[in-house]
Amino acid sequence: MSIGRYGQERGSVGPFLGGLAVGLLAGPFLAFWAGWAVTTGTVEAKVEDALVSVQAAICAARARADAGDPSKLDYDARFDLAEKWSAMPGQDPGSVDPGVKIACAEKLS
């Protein structure tokens, strides 16, 4: 074996392969644990949260236009108002996400 720079032997691949094996095993584990990896589930959850937020804002604006100042109403009345306006134009009122109704009622307070 010949001596390379800094007195290390060339051709000794044992430490390199050991580091490679540890990196290949630990890398993905650390990425998922730290939340750096984007999975289908996290993307779908973020899209759903954004959709609920936008629909709740539209619902709240439509309800305020209809009722004036809904902050003076109690929670049940605000929820009923949110239920009335939570369906988007062209959407079946029975297929509205319950999260939209709740978020809309909270925005009306």
What percent of the chain shows pLDDT beyond 90? 25
pLDDT surpassing 70 at residue 94: yes
Burial 67-85 (b: 16+ CB within 10 A, else e): beebeebeeeebbebbbbb
The answer to whether the CB of 52 falls within 8 A of the CB of 100 is yes
Q: What is the DSSP letter of 68?
A: S
CA distance 94 to 91: 9
**Domain boundaries, given as residue ranges, for the chain:** 8-34, 40-107
Confidence of residue 57 (pLDDT cuts 50, 70, 90): very high
Q: For 31-45, write each residue's pLDDT tens digit.
A: 888 877 778 888 899
C-alpha to C-alpha distance for 21 and 19, rounded to whole angstroms = 5
Sequence-distant (≥ 6) Cβ neighbours of residue 103 within 8 angstroms: 52, 53, 55, 56, 59
